[in-house]
Amino acid sequence: MFYSVFKSVVLIPLLRWLYRPRVEGREYVPDTGAAIIAGNHLSFSDHFLMPVMVKRQISFLAKQEYFTKPGLTGRLTAAFFRGIRAIPVDRSGKEAAQAAVDTALGILDKGELLGIYPEGTRSHDGRLYKGKVGVASMALKSGAPVVPCAMIGTFEAQPAGRLLPRLVPITIRFGKPLDFSRYQGLEDERAVLRAVTDEIMYAILKLSEQEYVDTYAAEAKAALRGETAADRAAREWGTRPAADAPHPYPDDDRPAAA
């Protein structure tokens, strides 16, 4: 009820009036049944602009920090993300990460839409970064098609660190659904997961026409801060993770335990 009321009364009138976003390929989002919408992630406003232009409800994976910030603002933020059925992604350990994956698969099992950003974090410079294989794992385990999506203009509207967005033209472009049924039974094969993820990212790249960077966005950000891989692991996990700890966005080269 919260999602429907907030979307129809606040989001749709406000965002359509402010941005007048252009939508291309909306017919590729299925009217019924499970599907994964996989998009590039350029701005905090992506969470609002893309769902506004899709009739069906989309449940997104969202970082745990949106649910745990202190103070009144933190409580309001957490209430909002719970209201729109966002799924918190907790990197504190194996069980917490698996719980997020199980919740996401449960949404797909019910024939609903799941939204995911395969890059795992917002792009800090507007380029498209290497996708993490969590999206492939969910697609193969659920059997759901993957609809690639490109947000165009949201980086210019509200890059990371900018509180109030600029009013610039926004385009939301959906592509033809990708079917990975040919890989049925191979959802635990690392090479298959990598191949599926790269196919999804290439579809997003064609839609967005961004410059592609063959490294993870989190690693690129860490490099800008001068962090080592071990430093990044300690910051993200609170301690160095166990070597077998899964994550909804698993890295190919996540640091092993000391």
How far apart are alpha carbons 97 and 171 in whole angstroms? 33
Task: List the structure tokens of 143.
Answer: 């059997």
- pLDDT per position as a tens digit, 122-168: 899 999 999 999 899 999 999 999 999 999 998 988 777 777 777 88
Domains of the chain: 2-237 (3.40.1130.10)
Reported as a pLDDT band with limits 50, 70 and 90, residue 255 is very low
User: For residues 80 and 246, which has the higher predicted lDDT (pLDDT)?
Assistant: 80
**pLDDT score of 98:** 73
Which stretch of DSSP H or E encloses residue 58? strand 58-63
- Residues 206-229, mean pLDDT to the nearest whole number: 88
Task: Report the mean per-residue pLDDT for the chain.
Answer: 81
Reported as a pLDDT band with limits 50, 70 and 90, residue 257 is very low
**Stretch among 149-158, 186-195, 236-245 having the lowest mean pLDDT:** 236-245
Give, as one character, the DSSP assignment of residue 256: P
- pLDDT per position as a tens digit, 68-117: 888 888 887 777 777 767 777 765 556 666 777 788 899 999 999 999 99
Question: pTM score > 0.85 for this model?
Answer: no
Q: What is the DSSP string of 175-219?
A: -PPB--GGGTT-TT-HHHHHHHHHHHHHHHHHHH-PPEESS-HHH
- Residues 206-221, mean pLDDT to the nearest whole number: 93
- Residues 3-16, mean pLDDT to the nearest whole number: 66
